[in-house]
């Protein structure tokens, strides 16, 4: 099975119109970070829920995904949006420095070629451009909570699940720094971040 078939099969198994996880918290984080007129690339846009909200916030937004099924659903619901199918292993069809912001909600944990993916994120951002992303949170405190509950642990690390990577705040900061991002900030501190299931991350493309 090729990568495209794999992603299509995953989406075929997801009920149409299912609300994205932690929608309100992630949407509040995203909309607080954008301004009207900015150019935003929604990477892994899925059924277009966040793309549509960005458009309503008067930003210039393009949504991309590696599967056609979620884009079909999104086009049916939001025909006014600019939504494009991309190939996972190829260069994204955008010029260098095309966007002020890249938003990737619950995407990076699914990416097989993290280095290639982050290189493309960096390429389409100008110097000083911003990366906003959310991903499942794996602090030590949350890992301990998962370990205590065998059922929760098994569900979280399901061997048939589609999550390929698992990030802690420390590994996320190191990864983004290695790929030329600075001012990496992760939403929440202390106990709030420790147990919350989602990391909200913002970083800036270094100026060189």
Domain count, the chain: 1
Task: Using the predicted structure, report yes or no on whether residue 159 has a pLDDT greater than 90.
Answer: no
Task: Using the predicted structure, report yes or no on whether residue 152 has a pLDDT greater than 90.
Answer: no
The pLDDT assigned to 130 comes to: 98
b/e map 173-199, b = 16+ CB within 10 Å: bebbeebbbeebebbbeeeebbebebb
The token duo for 107 is 């995407």
Low-confidence winner among 127-131, 135-139, 165-169, 203-207 (lowest mean pLDDT): 135-139
CATH assignment of the domain containing 91: 3.40.50.150
User: Residue 55 is part of which domain span?
Assistant: 3-205
Cα–Cα distance measured from residue 36 to residue 59, given in angstroms and rounded to the nearest whole number: 5
Q: What are φ and ψ of residue 205, in 5° steps?
A: -65, 125
Query: Whole-prediction pTM value?
Result: 0.86
Pair type for strands 39-43 and 60-65? parallel
pLDDT band at 191 (very low <50, low <70, confident <90, very high): very low
The pLDDT assigned to 190 comes to: 44
Instruction: For residue range 45-96, list pLDDT tens digits in order.
Output: 999 999 999 999 999 999 999 999 999 999 999 999 999 999 887 899 999 9
Between CA 58 and CA 110, with CA 136 as vertex, the angle to 5 degrees is: 80
Element (H, E) at 194: helix 190-195
Strand partners, 84: 64
Q: Per-residue pLDDT averaged across 12-39, rounded?
A: 94
Instruction: Name the residue with higher pLDDT: 138 or 132.
Output: 132
Q: Per-residue pLDDT averaged across 163-182, rounded?
A: 90
């Amino acid at each position: 099975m090729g990568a495209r078939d794999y992603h299509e099969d995953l989406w075929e198994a997801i009920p149409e119109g299912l609300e994205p996880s932690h929608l309100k918290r992630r949407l509040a984080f995203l909309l607080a970070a954008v301004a009207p007129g900015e150019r935003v690339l929604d990477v892994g846009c899925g059924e277009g829920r966040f793309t549509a909200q960005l458009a309503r916030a008067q930003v210039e937004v393009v949504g991309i995904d590696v599967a056609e099924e979620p884009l079909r659903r999104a086009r049916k619901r939001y025909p006014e949006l600019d939504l494009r199918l991309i190939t996972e292993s190829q260069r994204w069809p955008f010029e260098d420095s095309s966007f002020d912001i890249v938003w990737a909600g619950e995407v990076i944990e699914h990416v097989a070629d993290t280095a290639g993916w982050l290189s493309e994120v960096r390429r389409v951002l100008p110097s000083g451009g911003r990366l906003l992303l959310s991903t499942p949170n794996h602090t030590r405190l949350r890992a301990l909570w998962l370990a205590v509950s065998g059922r929760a642990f098994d569900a979280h690390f399901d061997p048939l699940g589609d999550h390929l990577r698992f990030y802690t705040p420390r590994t996320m900061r190191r990864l983004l720094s290695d790929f030329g991002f600075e001012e990496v900030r992760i939403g929440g501190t202390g106990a709030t971040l420790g147990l919350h299931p989602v990391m909200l991350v913002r970083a800036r493309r270094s100026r060189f």
